[in-house]
Structure 1
Amino acid sequence: MKVQTQLIVAGMLALCGSLPAAAFDLAAAVQAARDYDAGYAGARQSLLAGQEKAVQGRALLLPSVGLSAGITRTDPIRPDADPYHSSSVGVQLNQPLFDVASYTGYKKGRISSELAEVQYSASGQQLIADVARAYLDVLLAEDVLSATQATKKAFEHQLAQAKKAFEVGTATITDTHEAQAGFDGALASEIAAMSDLEIKRNTLAKLTGLKPEQINHLKGRVDLGNELGTLQAWLDRAEAGSLNIKSARQQVQLAEENLTAARGKHLPTVDLSAGYSINHATDPASRLSGRGSTAGNSVGVNLTLPLYAGGGINSQVREAAANLEKSRDDLELSRREVALAVRSAWLGVSNGAAQVKAQEQLLVSAKSKLDATRLGREVGVRTNLDLLNAESSYQDAVRALASARYNLLYARLALALAAGELDDQAVASVNRFF
């Protein structure tokens, strides 16, 4: 019975090992990358670290409480005197009442935490874009390899026919050389295409940890319909939602707080302090007076006003002012770069759709030309070279159509990325084609 059980388990394991890995689409690849990519995991830890900035900034406005304790032994110089001890325990509380540095530190901590969240969201959207690019690159590389292999097969067939025709004397050696040159070129292209496919698959695997051989392919025509919208609408959405612009705005806010903090160093600081202490001493004077142990409270307000710092504060103010202007210039640069990205992606979608339709018609024409050339070659009005050129043109049209389709899909995602809207919903709008 035990042997039978072991055989059954071994058979099940062998069956499981022989099952093919599950195929995956773009949405599954994105989800796998979120769990697998080390760069995104690092961004998540940066978010957790950045969220602590708000806590640290708030702590600057809250009271601080400290405990102090000490003990001292004193050995008198007189040899007949006994050593004595003194000890103290105290609690001290400090609360800032007016401190520009503490208040601006609180505001900077809050802004830094918000900036960390924006940067994490940007990392997530960039990860989607990277996975989509890698996914589509694999599909294009596979299509290029298939077209290259089809061209090589056609050249191989023509080469065999040319050699046979030359042997029986119905063709010249030129036909054989032309077919051989075409075959050699196709063979070199196939090697390059195989290498490129391997590189593209490795890139996708590095991001997702999935087996790129199980990737899902396009299931039909690519038609985004009328969901594009106007360019101005996308520019407005990008101005409001672009994560790059949000990040640049927060950098401006941080620079403004740095300038306020630098100017605040000219102003006084006011702190409230309160304390309670217990002191105990065994020295002769304390014993004679009967005050060996004392306790006391203290409450006070401390004011500190800087008078002169060697010009360092004025220099820090000028430095912060210059950094503020730089951050404003960076914000304007970010706005322009986002607008350019939106325009480029929008044109990629609008013109890409027309490009796909044109390439689809070109493929139909190339196929018709190939069929006509084959027929002409059979009846003797076309040469082998004409047929080889027609075959190459057809495979070029296949590659161009595939490239146009993938570029259109990526342009749609790039448009969402530029507007700060590249999420699972945007992925789903493209994933439906796989």
Structure 2
Amino acid sequence: MGHRGTARGSRRSGRNAFATQFGPGLRRAASAALLALAPFAAEAETLGDALAFGYEYSGLLEQNRALLRAADEDVAQAIAALRPVVSYAAQASVGAPLGGLSDYQIDQSLSVSAQMTVYDGGANRLAIDAQKELVLGTRAALVGVEQDVLLRIVVAYMEIRRSQQFVSLRQNNVRLITQELRAAEDRFEVGEVTRTDVSLAEARLAAARSLLAAEQGGLAQAIGEFRAAVGRAPGDLQPVPLADVPATLEEARAIALRNHPAIEEAQRNVAATELNIRRAEAAVRPQVTVNGRLSADLEGNESASLGLNVGGPIYQGGAIASQVRQVMARRDAARAGLHVVSDNVAQNVGIAWTGLEVARASDVALAQQVTAATVAFNSIREEATLGARTTLDVLNAEQELLTARADLISSQVDETIATYRLLSTMGLLTAEHLGLAVQIYDPAAYYNLVRTAPSALSEQGRALDRVLEAIGD
């Protein structure tokens, strides 16, 4: 907790310097941000509402969904390599003997040719399977992006709630110190305290106003981050329940190793490289193709041919063997990458779990601190009215109570964020797992349309055109 307090203290010191240099402008900006928030204040908004809106309107998710569709097309192109390739050629030429240009002749011809690979050692089939593995890996990467988007929204949501409560604390602090200043002035008038007590209260009030302006600036920044993360301004943000998490660290790690999208993506990359090794080895096998050709000219001459071609490499200077070794090296790198990713996932789960445990322990201790500081402040304030305590004693007690309350608020926010961060490290921070009220994106829908590699003129091809037009709109 000491580290978190130090970070928070340095952040506030930075805010104080900023407020000192740009005080009036900062207050105007903070006021403008709060006014911009006002139209949404009447409408309650839950974390689920923010997550649902951000999920549906995230540009980052749209970008990666488009990349997934591009990967789907790689499968269609690999399938097309197994099909006949039909092409046409038209030719026209004019010929005449030298010196007799009037005696010219026009030759025209039209030909249609087709070619199909009937055997390639399984290379094309292996290419299809490898592309399918890469598609599945890209789907896993999309889930990882989804988790990043949703976690950013959670953090942005909770940071606004933190800042709002900090602003409320600072406003209350200003009111209390203002009361203490008036009390000190009254007691000074009757000779119970010195001018020093009044000056101390005035200094504390000025500092409290500065800190209030800094917290309002922090709230304005938090609102800006919410807009960037969600895509719109926040409403009246409601309290957030803690997410359900496993009871033990071991259980959380086991879930992560089964479900985290980064691990699945790495596994798919390993599978794809294994297939690519077999594909590279198939290059030494013979290739058999069938060729056909039809042609005709203006004179009615027609011809047709059908051929069978068989060929393969004999010696290529060691290039094929080098390519096989290269793909094997990539396979080894992918396997090592899988181990690294698995270790990182397990480590991240442990870090998130520790953060959650620290926040939970801090909540208990800080709640006790707030209770004790409240009793102390009320007692010292009462004693000050009897002349047993100075104004400085009251101000110090109030500051201790304010710090305890701020630390408790921050710890509670940290605990909530920690539960969702733990879900993310486990691979469970998804719209489907959270049960968001959205249309869950189906990564297989587009793939099912293109996996048979339909032509542009087919009914399925026209359906694809309509889908892409709808996506573009």
Q: TM-score range by the shorter chain?
A: 0.7 to 0.9
3-state SS of 1:89 partner: strand
Q: Which structure 2 residues correspond to residues 43-122 of structure 1 after superposition, within 5 A?
A: 43-77=64-98, 79=100, 82-99=104-121, 101-122=123-144
Find out whether 1:149 has 2:140 as its counterpart: no
Give me the whole-angstrom Cα distance separating, in 1, the residues matched to 2:369 and 2:315.
Answer: 81
Find out whether 1:40 has 2:61 as its counterpart: yes
Find out whether 1:24 has 2:45 as its counterpart: yes
Question: How many angstroms does 1:86 deviate by?
Answer: 4.5
Q: State the one-letter code of the partner of 2:288.
A: D
- Identify the match of residue 397 of structure 2 among 377, 390, 395: 390
3-state SS of 2:237 partner: coil
- Identify the match of residue 273 of structure 2 among 251, 255, 268: 255
Runs of at least 5 residues in structure 1 that lack an aligned partner in the other structure: 1-16, 283-291, 430-434
Cα contact 2:349–2:422 (8 A) shared by 1:
yes
Find out whether 1:326 has 2:333 as its counterpart: yes
Cα displacement string for residues 75-100 of structure 1 (whole angstroms, at most 9, x for unaligned residues): 24473855252413223131241145
CA gap 1:23/1:269 in 2 versus in 1, 3 angstroms: farther
**Count of residue pairs brought into register by the alignment:** 398
Cα contact 1:255–1:327 (8 A) shared by 2:
yes
- Identify the match of residue 307 of structure 1 among 315, 318, 326: 315
3-state SS of 2:114 partner: strand
Q: Using the TM superposition, name which of 247-256 and 228-237 deviates more.
A: 247-256
Cα displacement string for residues 197-233 of structure 1 (whole angstroms, at most 9, x for unaligned residues): 1000111012223332x232328xx6778x5322111
Larger Rg over CA atoms = 1
Q: State the one-letter code of the partner of 2:362.
A: Q
The residue that corresponds to 1:354 in the other structure is 361
Give me the whole-angstrom Cα distance separating, in 2, the residues matched to 1:140 and 1:19.
Answer: 18
Cα contact 2:243–2:420 (8 A) shared by 1:
no
Q: State the one-letter code of the partner of 2:417.
A: Y
Give me the whole-angstrom Cα distance separating, in 2, the residues matched to 1:313 and 1:425.
Answer: 46
CA gap 1:217/1:365 in 2 versus in 1, 3 angstroms: farther
Q: Which structure 2 residues correspond to residues 65-214 of structure 1 after superposition, within 5 A?
A: 65-77=86-98, 79=100, 82-99=104-121, 101-212=123-234, 214=235
Give me the whole-angstrom Cα distance separating, in 2, the residues matched to 1:270 and 1:71.
Answer: 34
Identity level (%): 22
3-state SS of 1:210 partner: coil
The residue that corresponds to 1:381 in the other structure is 388
Cα contact 1:62–1:96 (8 A) shared by 2:
no
3-state SS of 1:110 partner: helix
Runs of at least 5 residues in structure 2 that lack an aligned partner in the other structure: 1-37, 437-473
Give me the whole-angstrom Cα distance separating, in 1, the residues matched to 2:41 and 2:214.
Answer: 28
Q: Using the TM superposition, name which of 417-426 and 235-244 deviates more.
A: 417-426
Q: State the one-letter code of the partner of 2:193.
A: A
Cα contact 1:416–1:426 (8 A) shared by 2:
no
The residue that corresponds to 2:452 in the other structure is none
Q: State the one-letter code of the partner of 1:103.
A: R
The residue that corresponds to 1:237 in the other structure is 255
Question: How many angstroms does 1:110 deviate by?
Answer: 0.9
The residue that corresponds to 1:289 in the other structure is none
CA gap 1:110/1:402 in 2 versus in 1, 3 angstroms: same
- Identify the match of residue 264 of structure 2 among 225, 229, 246: 246
Question: How many angstroms does 1:62 deviate by?
Answer: 2.8
Cα displacement string for residues 358-387 of structure 1 (whole angstroms, at most 9, x for unaligned residues): 222222122111111111112222221111
Q: State the one-letter code of the partner of 1:415.
A: L
Q: Which structure 2 residues correspond to residues 257-296 of structure 1 after superposition, within 5 A?
A: 257-265=275-283, 267-280=284-297, 282=299, 293-296=301-304
Cα contact 1:60–1:106 (8 A) shared by 2:
no
3-state SS of 1:150 partner: helix
3-state SS of 1:405 partner: helix
Give me the whole-angstrom Cα distance separating, in 2, the residues matched to 1:173 and 1:270.
Answer: 101
Cα contact 2:41–2:236 (8 A) shared by 1:
no
The residue that corresponds to 1:400 in the other structure is 407
Relative to the length of structure 2, the TM-score reads: 0.77
3-state SS of 1:169 partner: coil
